[in-house]
Amino acid sequence: MKLAHALLGAFVFAIPIRAQAALDIFACEPEWASLAEALGGDKVSVYAATNGLQDPHQVQARPSLIARARTADLVVCTGAELETGWMPVILRRAGNARIQPGSPGYFEAVSAVRLLDAPSRLDRADGDVHAAGNPHIQTSPRNIRAVAAALSRRMQDLDSTNADVYAKRTEDFLTRWDGATRRWEEMARPLKGIHIAVAHKNWIYLTTWLGMDEAAALEPKPGIPPGPAYLSQVLADVPRKSIRFLIYAAYEDARPADYVAGQAGIPAVPLPFTVGGDKDAGDLFSLFDITIARLVAAHAS
């Protein structure tokens, strides 16, 4: 009976917390947390389930994440199986009907963009493939734009009293974003058509956006570490395909990238990959500022 009293007490205590809070957003990745903050301002309280130095495939369904999902009004995830190793557990344990897939409180960013790299066959022998396509959509500002528009509509639907605020902030964000995108495209003009190498196949949206050719990858297949024979093949490809530099994400191990780039005599360029992937990449704008600046600098060197 003591337990029942404790239950009842905690339950009654819990109700007022919900009523006064701003729109409580649980973002699976920091880029969507940053976007939700930009669109919602002080009308939202945003929690990022992962930080910029974590591999979003490899997150443990920690109790703290379950606790955050319990109170969330809106879950913003990438989707396309990126969070398949942990998010289903959190959703089933959270006891929160508002954020179950199919509910208005469950938003997948990939619903707003068309995915590239969808495999024509599904076989685990091909490595860590995603059936729906490559989920790392945040590396192109055009995708961010599309997600911003869709996410804003969802926020307006969920929190109609603040819909005007969201609409206004979104319009403002998109204006600034379009201006910044033109600036980045202008800065990145010399990168068009150059050949580069990637550590992991998670840059398809960036390379497509800037017109760069992904001529080699350090992994023979996604998630499969390279053997010596494969690496010597990559080293031979660098002069043959006139590869200019190698890019890798901040959350990835720098050692293989540094080693291969050092052997091949090309720069290894760490890119933030998402918000928080670099100490200066505090929001989406600075994320692309840094990304473009590093690419242009690597190209000029």
Partner 1 sequence: MTGIRGGCIVFSTVLLALWPQGGALAQQPNAADLQALAKQMEEMRRDYDRQIQQMKDGYEARMSEMEQRLKSTEATAAVADKAASEAQQTAKQAAEQPAQVASAPASPSSFNPAIALILNGAFAKMSKEPESWSVPGFATGDEAQPISRGFSIGETELDLSANVDDKLYGQATIAFTNDNSLEVEEAYIQSLSLPYGFTAKGGRFFSAIGYLNSFHAHAWDFYDAPLPYQVFLNTQYNDDGVQLRWQAPLKTVMLEFGGEGFLGDSFPASGAVNQGVGSYSAFAKAGGDFNASHSWLAGVSQLWTNAENRSTNDDSLLFTGRTNMTIFDAVYKWAPNGDPSRTNFKLQAEYFLVHNAGTYNNEPYDGNPSGWYVQGIYQFAPRWAAGFRYDALSPTAVPSSLEATQLNPLGLTPRRYSGMLQYMTSEFGRFRLQYTRDDSYGGAGGNQYVLQYTVSLGSHGAHSY
Nearer to partner 1 by Cβ, of 91 and 264: the residue is 91
Query: How far apart are alpha carbons 86 and 44 in whole angstroms?
Result: 24
Phi then psi dihedrals of residue 274, to 5 deg: -150, 175
Q: Supply the DSSP symbol for 110.
A: G
Do 264 and 235 touch, CB atoms closer than 8 A?
yes
Q: Which amino acid is at 137?
A: I
- Does position 100 interact with partner 1 (CB under 8 A)? The reply is yes
Do 178 and 146 touch, CB atoms closer than 8 A?
no
Which residues are CB-neighbours of 288 under 8 A, at least 6 positions away? 141, 180, 184
- Does position 301 interact with partner 1 (CB under 8 A)? The reply is no
- Does position 253 interact with partner 1 (CB under 8 A)? The reply is yes
Nearer to partner 1 by Cβ, of 124 and 265: the residue is 124
Q: How many other CB atoms sit within 10 Å of the CB of residue 87? A: 25
- Does position 122 interact with partner 1 (CB under 8 A)? The reply is no
- Does position 20 interact with partner 1 (CB under 8 A)? The reply is no
Q: Could you say which residues in the range 268-297 bind partner 1, by CB under 8 A? A: none
Query: How far apart are alpha carbons 287 and 290 in whole angstroms?
Result: 5
Residue in 1, 19, 97, 229 binding partner 1, rule: CB under 8 A? 97
- Does position 50 interact with partner 1 (CB under 8 A)? The reply is yes
Stretch that binds partner 1, among 86-94, 165-173, 231-239, 260-268 (CB under 8 A): 86-94
User: Which tokens go with 163?
Assistant: 């819909």
- Does position 51 interact with partner 1 (CB under 8 A)? The reply is yes
Q: Which residues bind partner 1 (CB under 8 A)?
A: 3, 6-7, 10-11, 14, 17-18, 50-51, 53-55, 57-64, 66-68, 70-71, 81, 84-89, 92-97, 100-103, 111-114, 124, 128, 132, 140, 142-143, 146, 223-225, 251, 253
